[in-house]
Structure formats: C-alpha cells, structure tokens
Structure 1
Amino acid sequence: MSVPAVLTYAERVYSGKKPYLYPIPFVPGSSAVGRVAAVGPDATRLKPGQLVYFDSYIHGRDDTTSLILHGLSAGFTPSSNMLMEKAWRDGTYAEYAKLPLENCFPIDEARLLGSLADGGMGYTMEDLVYLWTLSIPFGGLREVDVRAGEKVIITPATGSFGSAAVVAALAIGVRVVAMGRNMEALERLRTFSSEDRLRIVQNTGDVALDIEELTKDGLADVFFDISPGKAAKSTHFKSCIQALRRGGRVSLMGAHEGLSLLTQTIMLQDLTVKGKWMYTKEDMRVMIKLVESGYLKLGKAGGIETVGIFSLNQFDAAFDAAAKLSGPCLQAVIAP
C-alpha cells in the first residue's frame, strides 16, 4: 500500500484537457511513499515490509534516453511509449503497484517516522510524500552545482515547485532571493528561514528597478526558473540574468517555448545556461540524506501543509483540491 502525491493539474491530464500521452486503459499515479509487499529475485537490499520512497521518473534499463513518468506520461519517443505500454503501465493510485527496483529508495523509518521523544522526527507518511514536489527543483539546483554560501534567485517562488525550490535551496545552505508577483504569497515565505538567508523581491515588470532590488546585497551566483509556458514573455528573465555575477549560472526548468534570452549578456558575462527535465538517481539519494540528517525539513517543521488526504474513491475530490492549491508549500495526497 502506498501514499502517492496528487498533481495540481491531475484533473486536466486525466480528463484529456492537457494532452499527455498514456496508454488506455491504465491506472494513474505519481511518486509515492509505501511499504514493499514483495520483491523480485534480483533484489539484494529491499525486503517485504520495508518503507521506501518510489520515484516515478523511470528510465529504460537498456536505453536511458527512454523516459516516462509512471502513471502520468508515456514520454516523447516510441521507445518511451513502449516502456509504459508494456512493462510499467499502471501507477500508484491502487492498493498495490508493480515498480522498478531501482526506483525504490529505502528511507530510515525509525529516524523519519519515529517520535521526537525517541529521537525521531515525528513525520507522517503524508509528510514524506512532499519529497516528490521537492525532487524536481532539487534536480535543477544540483544541475548547476549550487553550493552552500552562494546567492540564488528563484522565480516564480510562490507556486508548488518554486516554493519547493526555496525550501531545497535553503537546506543546501545558500542565500535565497525569492521573486514573484504576489506579495502576499511572498510574505508567507519569510517563515522558512530564521537565519536571514531569505529575501523576497516583487517582480514589478520594471527591469531596471527589479535589477536594483535583486542586487541590493550583491550580484547572484545562480538564477533558477521554473515558470509556466505563459510566462515566456515575462520581464523577469531580463532582470534576473542581468543580476548575475560574471560566470554565473542559469537553470531553466519551465515550459519556455518561444523564450527570448539576452544572448549578448550571456556571452559577455560568461554565463552558463542549462535546461533540466526532472533529476537524477543521485539527486534523489542526496535529497533523502538531507531529510534524514534534519537539514531539509518536511511537514509542519518545514512549513509544508497537506491540505487534504483522500481515499481512492475520492479521487475526483483529490484532483479538485490539488487544482485549487494556491500558495507556497501545499500538497494533497491519496491514501488508499
């Protein structure tokens, strides 16, 4: 039995409004926390009853360019489509799910779910599900080698993945400038850091003014963006790129079809621009270690709220609740 996350746009995907490719019929799903029910003959570490985090980003074993999102998307190539249609068709919105061994990461149950009195962290299974939201921006931050002590601009910082990027970056040990349009939502981010490592800046649309605000405490080392496609014309790309130091890095994880960048500035300032889709297995292992060590906090301790826990037969209510999430660090989950 697993506890999977619910995408904010799940209803749009599974109703066909957002055209993702997947086989029909199939069982939807996402990344999840659950217990191992049984293992195959090639398992050397996992055992029945063990608590694991399942990563829904699956690679082909004989072709790592074949990529799918388990229970969500059959990818972008014929070989990826085959991977989902045959081997890994059904997702985690079920009592039991067949999953790839290499996508199941053991987690320290005593440490994470144990009571505070016994030296544990007191998390719930639902708290751990937030690893799924964190994993995506965590992969983008590591892709540009974000290091402790650096200054990182994150935009937009108030959505599901942008706010998770703020949480992840603070855990890595950087100074964060969280940028967005909604000041009320940005103000809610202030509670994430009691060490004065988080500053908020509103995207006003005035490039010169925004650059001034972004650089009040010096030029930035990294600009991380996870904007939706409709933000491709936003002025923040110009202001954030010009707020970087010479030799700075840019991590783009948004759907930026038609995005126009300051190519001359990028060239003259020796900037590195990298696109990233999802994350690596090593990213997952590092992220889990950060959680188990206590540097990356989840649940109430991390300012993360689970707004609803739904049974499988309440999937429509779960999709509706997820679609209505508004503000940083919120999630909805399904608990079969």
Structure 2
Amino acid sequence: MKAAVLNAFGSPLAIENVPDPLLGTGEVIVDVVASRVLAYANEVLSGERKYLLELPVVPGPGAIGRIRATGPDATRLRPGDWVYCDPTVRSRDNALSPDIALQGLTAGSEGGLRLQRYFHDGAWAEQMRLPTENAVPIGDIDEKDAGRWCALGTLLVPYGGFLAVQLQAGEIALVNGATGSFGSAAVAVALAMGAQCVIATGRNEQALTELTRRFGARVRTVPMHGDEADDRARILQAAPGPIDCVLDILPPVASAMQVRTAVLAVRPHGRVVLMGGVGMQGGAGLDLPYPWMMRNGITLRGQWMYPPHAATLMAGLIRAGLVDLDHFEIAAFGLDRANEAVAHAAAHSGPFRMTVIQPR
C-alpha cells in the first residue's frame, strides 16, 4: 500500500510503498478515507515539539474509514462499516491507570512508547491497523462527507473536558482560549450539551465576532487585553450569572496568568478543567490561591483527551443535529500531496477550518 512516511525529523514526508498491515486478535484493519492534519503537524514533524515518536513512522492521528477486516473477537463490526479511528490507544493491563499513546502522533510517556511500538503507524496511508475498541461506528455516511466527519477529532477534545467537569444543560460555561481550532470547537460542543450561555475569551477580536455571528446570543465574547484584574472583571460582567465551569484550552504560547484570569472567575463550588498547553514550552507554573480554592470548594482537574465512550456520544450529537459539521470548511489533499497538506494546515488554521488528507 501507499503511505506518507516520516524518516527523520525535519525532513519532508516520503510517499512510499509499504507492506499492508497484518491483522491480529483484538484488532481491525481500516481502509482510510480521510484523516485530518493538525495545525501544528509541521511542529511535530520537524521535531520542534519534541513529541515521543519513534521513526520511521506513518503519521496521522485519527481518521474516518471503512472496516476492511476484523479479528475473531469482534462481534458487531462488519467489512464496509464506516468508523471513526480513534487515535487514543490505551494499554489493556491496567484499568485504573492505563498508559496512553496517540497513534500516529506521540507516545505521551515512556509507558506509551511500548504501545506505540506495536500500534506504530497512523492514518496517512491507504490502510491502518488499530485496536478493535478504537474503531467507533458512526453509521452510514456519504463518502464525500468523510473529510467533514474528521471534525470528530477536533470536537472530541473539548468534549472530553466538559464530560470531565460534568457540564449540565442550563449552566454557564467559560471557554478560555476560544479563538483557535479546539477552542472554537469547545464553544460548539458546550452549546450542543445545553449550556445556557458560553463566555468565549481570546485575543483575536475578529474570531470572537465570528463566534457570535455563527452561534448567536448564547455566546458572549470577551477580548483579552492582558490585564488580569480588568480581563476578569469584563468576563464577570459579560456572564448572565455565576460561571459554573471553566474549560481552559489555551495554547503553549499563552501564559499562566491568562489561565488564572479565567480560573478565578468561576463561582463558589464551581469546576475547572485544564486541557491546554500552557507551560509546555517553559515559563512560570499556574499559581492559584490555596485559601480561595479551599473555602470555595473549587474542583480543579486536568484532562488529556477523552474517555473511550465519548466518540460514540459525539457521533450521536452530530446525528441529532446538535453539532453541525457544515460549520467546518475543508481543504482536501491526496496522499501524494501530504507535504502540501501539512504546510496548508499551518498557514490556514483557525476556527472551523480543517485540512484533511484523503489517501484514496
């Protein structure tokens, strides 16, 4: 089969003929129809992000495809079924603290490297092998819509955060960092889950205005100017009531002060989930007042990715029309143009913009 292969960090992807993946028990083989290209894929492939990724490798985290073959332990999946290929691969020998690797992207930890060495290659190929539980049925779709369904990979990240803090219908949610790909998706997800109102913060005022145009009065935007006290005051002024939960999804270039600005806006007994990249490139850590957290009963947790059942639920939200994939603007590239796709994703990232590779 044909695949895009990264042989060395900083080198272009090589389009090569590689052996077809071999099926094992507890696994499926999928014919890849479309796979998204992350906006920061160029930083991963260059080695700038220093992700744990053993080379050579076929990159590509997540895909939409059709089942080609299943192992003997699969009881529901059939050849031809449309599935989301979830890149979040978990070890099966520790249910409480599984090691996690993102197939085709990063091992995440030393333990995750052992997973990566087996489920090594990602989705930028005509076929891929993945654990049976990672092939999530999405129902019948038109093949021309496969690229748009790749938005699952973007939507699922903030959805995992809101599941972690148990966002309830009728609550007020704050999305801190709402102008990027994942932050804007978080606004859509919170609304789909029934949030009364979403407070969306960010530095890009044009992107904030677009969120209001796209989603209407349930979204209230707050441009962040960099003065912590003033920014927080304007957040509280914009909210129609006490803020029940905060999702921080700021990128690595943001500061811990920007995180604290939003965290300290949550109501007493409110919940906060951290999903962004602040601190990954160095800098000060997040400093929160101990007495405030203790006396106000604040719940603070980190969340990486999402639970295994999230993809099934998100597919249901899409099927119900609560999440509209038509919001996403798609730029599609064939496998032979994988390097162009990576460059395009870096240059054209932003809210509801997605670059995909279509191997077939």
Equivalent residue for 2:109, pick from 51, 65, 76: 76
1:42 aligns to 2:73 (yes or no): yes
TM-score (normalised: structure 1): 0.90
Percent sequence identity is 39
Aligned to 1:269: 296
Distance 1:189 1:252, change over 3 A: same
Closer, same or farther: CA 323–249 of 1 in aligned 2, 3 Å: same
Q: Secondary structure at the match of 2:55?
A: coil
Shift of 1:206: 2.8
Query: By percentage of residues, which structure has more strand?
Result: 2
Deviations 1:94-131 (A, max 9, x none): 1011111100111121xx549xxxxxxxx711110000
- Aligned to 2:58, which of 22, 27, 40? 27
Output aligned runs, 1:175-194, within 5 Å: 175-194=197-216
Partner-residue secondary structure (3-state), 2:262: helix
Deviation at 1:265, TM superposition (A): 2.1
Structure 1's unaligned 5+ residue stretches are 115-122
CA contact (8 A) 2:176 2:259 kept: no
Whether 1:298 aligns to 2:325 is: yes
Give the 4+ runs in structure 1 shifted more than 4 A.
Answer: none
Cα displacement string for residues 129-156 of structure 1 (whole angstroms, at most 9, x for unaligned residues): 0000111111011100001110011011
2:259·2:286 contact (CA, 8 Å) conserved in 1? no
Question: What is the alpha-carbon root mean square deviation over aligned residues?
Answer: 1.6
**Further displaced range: 272-281 or 215-224:** 215-224
Q: Could you tell me whether the CA contact under 8 Å between 2:84 and 2:138 is conserved in 1?
A: yes
Q: Distance in 2 between matches of 1:10 and 1:327?
A: 14
- The aligned amino acid for 2:337 is Q
- Counterpart residue number, 1:118: none
Write the distance in 1 (CA, Å) between the matches of 2:168 and 2:66.
34
Q: CA deviation at 1:36?
A: 0.6
Could you tell me which of 102, 115, 127 is aligned with 2:133?
A: 102
Q: What secondary structure does 2:128 align onto?
A: coil
Q: Quick one: distance in 2 between partners of 1:53 and 1:328?
A: 22
SS in structure 2 at match of 1:41: coil
Q: Quote the residue 2:255 is aligned against.
A: 232
Answer yes or no: is 1:288 the counterpart of 2:315.
yes
Q: Is the 8 A contact 1:237 1:261 kept in 2?
A: no
Which residue of structure 2 aligns with residue 131 of structure 1?
152
Change (3 A) 1:61 1:47: same
3-state DSSP of counterpart to 2:268: strand
After superposition, residues 121-200 of structure 1 pair within 5 angstroms as 124-174=145-195, 175-194=197-216, 196-200=217-221
Per the TM alignment, residue 245 of structure 1 is displaced from its structure 2 partner at its CA by 1.3
Greater shift, 314-323 or 280-289, is seen at 280-289
Q: What are the Cα deviations for residues 155-182 of structure 1, in whole angstroms up to 9, with x where unaligned?
A: 1100011111111111111010100111
Alignment check: 8 A CA contact 1:146 1:222 kept: yes
Partner of 2:99: 66
1:206 to 215, 221, 227: 227
> Alpha carbons of 1:29 and 1:237: their partners in 2 closer, same or farther (altered >3 Å)?
closer
Q: Which TM-score applies when normalising by structure 2?
A: 0.84
Matched with 1:13 is: 44
> Which runs of 5 or more structure 2 residues have no equivalent in the other structure?
1-30, 280-284
What is the aligned residue count?
318
